[in-house]
């Protein structure tokens, strides 16, 4: 902080910021609003949810309850994880094709 600046705390957080602090995906956070009336963030002029620190604390309590009732809240795999899995599957398929083609080539060579 530079000289003369005043430290300020952020009063409102976006859905993604709140979800990150809580440790859950945004869609889980939004689904909790429907199931738990105590979690009721306000909306800004654009209709976007804005969470106060108290809303985030409430969501953390809900996370604790949900974890106790349903087991731990697990984050979904990221898009990058899905892409890596798909690439791995594609690579495996290509290796199978290559092996089959090598067998065909060997059969052709053996017939000559």
Is the separation of the CB atoms in 73 and 66 below 8 Å?
yes
Q: What pTM was estimated for this model as a whole? A: 0.56
CA 20 to chain CA centroid, nearest Å: 9
Cα distances (Å, whole numbers) of residue 62 to 38, 87, 92, 107: 9, 37, 42, 65
Residue 44's pLDDT is 93
Is the separation of the CB atoms in 39 and 58 below 8 Å?
yes
Phi-psi region of 71 (alpha: psi -120 to 50; beta: other; left: phi over 0): left
* Burial class of residue 96, CB neighbours in 10 A (0-12, 13-18, 19+): exposed
Structure tokens at 101: 């083609």
Q: What is the pLDDT of residues 41-61, one digit of tens each?
A: 999 999 999 999 999 999 999
Residue 78's pLDDT is 57
Sign of the Cα torsion 54, 56, 59, 61 reads negative
CATH fold, domain 15-70, is Multidrug-efflux Transporter Regulator; Chain: A; Domain 2 (1.10.1660)
Tens digit of each residue's pLDDT, the chain (112 residues): 566 666 668 899 999 999 999 999 999 999 999 999 999 999 999 999 999 999 999 999 999 888 766 555 555 555 666 666 676 777 888 888 889 999 999 988 888 6
Is the separation of the CB atoms in 22 and 59 below 8 Å?
yes
């Amino acid at each position: 902080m530079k000289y003369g600046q005043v430290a300020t705390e952020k009063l409102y957080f976006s859905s993604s910021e709140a979800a990150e602090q809580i440790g859950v995906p945004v869609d889980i956070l939004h689904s909790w609003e429907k199931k738990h009336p105590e979690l009721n963030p306000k909306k800004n002029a654009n209709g976007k949810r804005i969470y106060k620190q108290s809303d985030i604390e409430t969501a953390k309590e809900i996370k604790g309850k949900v974890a106790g009732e349903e087991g731990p809240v697990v984050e979904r795999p990221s898009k990058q994880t899905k892409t890596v899995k798909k690439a791995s599957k594609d690579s495996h398929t290509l290796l199978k094709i290559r092996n089959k083609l090598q067998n065909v080539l060997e059969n052709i060579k053996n017939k000559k």
